[in-house]
Amino acid sequence: MKVEKSLKNLMAIVCMMVMALSFNSCSNDDDNENFICYIAEGNITGSDLGATFAISDYTTAIKSVFGGTTNGSYTAKDTEVIAACDAVYQKHKINHPTWKGQIKIKKAYADKMGEIISSSYIKTYDY
C-alpha cells in the first residue's frame, strides 16, 4: 500500500515536470535567438570558366560582411549584405558582360538545431 502511494506520487511529479517542460519549449521568448544566414543561389552561364564560380564570389562577399568565416549571425545585416553583393554584381557586369542567368540572395532563419524555419529572397541579380 505504501509502495503504491509512493509510485502515484512519483508519477504525479513526473507528469508535472513533463508538462512544465512542454510549456517552456513552446515559448516564443527564443524567437530573437534564431541564427540569420544569407545564401547565394542561382545559375550563371557564359563562354568562360569564370561563370561557374559566380556564386562563390557572392558567397565570399557575404562572408566578408561577417568577418570571413560564416555567412550569418544572430543579427540581421541585410543592408551590408546587399551592398557587398551589389559590388560583386557590378564587377561581374563590367568584366563579364556576356554572362546570362540569375543570382538570388536568400535570407534564412535557422533554429538552435540548424533547421531552416523560414526564408525569403532579399535581392535578385539578372545577368
pLDDT tens digits, residue range 33-48?
A: 899 999 999 999 998 8
Banded model confidence at residue 2, pLDDT cuts 50, 70, 90: low
Q: Is the pLDDT of residue 106 over 60?
A: yes
Q: Is the pLDDT of residue 9 over 80?
A: no
| Inter-axis angle of helices 78-95 and 54-65, nearest 10 | 150
Banded model confidence at residue 104, pLDDT cuts 50, 70, 90: very high
pLDDT tens digits, residue range 88-99?
A: 999 999 999 999
Q: Specify the pTM.
A: 0.72
pLDDT tens digits, residue range 47-60?
A: 888 899 999 999 99
For residues 85 and 104, the answer to whether their CB atoms sit within 8 Å is no
For residues 120 and 96, the answer to whether their CB atoms sit within 8 Å is no
